[in-house]
Amino acid sequence: MMGKKRLSVFGATGSVGSSTLSLIREHPDKFALHALSANSDYHSLAQLAQEFQPSCVVIADEAFYTPLSERLSGLGITVLAGQKALEEVATQKVDLLVAAIVGLAGLAPVWRAVEAGQNIALANKETLVAAGHLIMPAAEKNGATLLPIDSEHNAIFQCLRYENQADIKKIILTASGGPFREMSIAEMQNVTIEQALLHPNWSMGPKVTIDSATMMNKGLELIEAAWLFDRGAEKLDAIIHPQSSIHGLVGFKDGSWLAQLGIADMRVPISYALGWPDRLGWQGQDFDFSQALQLDFAPIDGQKFPCFSLAKQVLGQSAEQAIILNAANEMAVAQFLAGEIGFADISTIVERALAAGDSGIKAHSYEAVIALDREIRQR
Member of 6, 7, 11, 159 binding ligand NAD (CB under 6 A): 11
Point out which span in 118-126, 170-178, 238-246, 294-302 binds ligand NAD (CB under 6 A): 118-126
Beta bridge partners of 58: 37, 80
Q: Is 16 in the site for ligand NAD (CB under 6 A)?
A: yes
Residue of 215, 157, 179, 180 whose CA lies nearest to 333: 215
100 binds, among Mg ion, ligand NAD, none (CB under 5 to 8 A by kind): ligand NAD
C-beta atoms surrounding 226 within 10 Å: 22
Binding mask 193-212 for ligand NAD (x = CB under 6 A): ---------x-xx-xx----
In the complex, the residues that contact Mg ion under the rule CB under 5 A are: 150-152
Q: Which is nearer to ligand NAD, 160 or 216 (CB)?
A: 216
222 binds, among Mg ion, ligand NAD, none (CB under 5 to 8 A by kind): none
- Name the minimum Å distance from CB 141 to ligand NAD: 24
Q: Cα–Cα distances in Å, from 20 out to 14, 24, 66, 96, 268?
A: 10, 6, 27, 12, 10
Q: Which is nearer to ligand NAD, 92 or 252 (CB)?
A: 92
The arrangement of strands across the sheet holding 78-81 comes to 78-81, 56-59, 31-38, 5-10, 96-99, 119-122, 145-148
Q: Cα–Cα distances in Å, from 328 out to 30, 307, 316?
A: 41, 11, 18
Q: Which is nearer to ligand NAD, 181 or 267 (CB)?
A: 267
Q: Is 329 in the site for ligand NAD (CB under 6 A)?
A: no
Helix-helix angle 42-52:65-72, to 10 degrees = 30
Report the C-alpha gap between 205 and 209 in whole angstroms.
Answer: 6
Burial label, 281 (beta-carbon count in 10 A; 0-12, 13-18, 19+): exposed
Q: Is 270 in the site for ligand NAD (CB under 6 A)?
A: no
- Name the minimum Å distance from CB 184 to ligand NAD: 27
Binding mask 44-73 for ligand NAD (x = CB under 6 A): ----------------x-------------
Q: Is 101 in the site for ligand NAD (CB under 6 A)?
A: yes
- Name the minimum Å distance from CB 139 to ligand NAD: 18
Member of 80, 89, 102, 273 binding ligand NAD (CB under 6 A): 102
- Name the minimum Å distance from CB 295 to Mg ion: 18
Residue of 366, 302, 127, 354 whose CA lies nearest to 227: 127
Report the C-alpha gap between 262 and 72 in whole angstroms.
Answer: 38
Which residues form the interface with ligand NAD (CB under 6 A)?
A: 11-17, 38-39, 41, 60, 100-102, 105, 123-126, 150-151, 202, 204-205, 207-208, 266
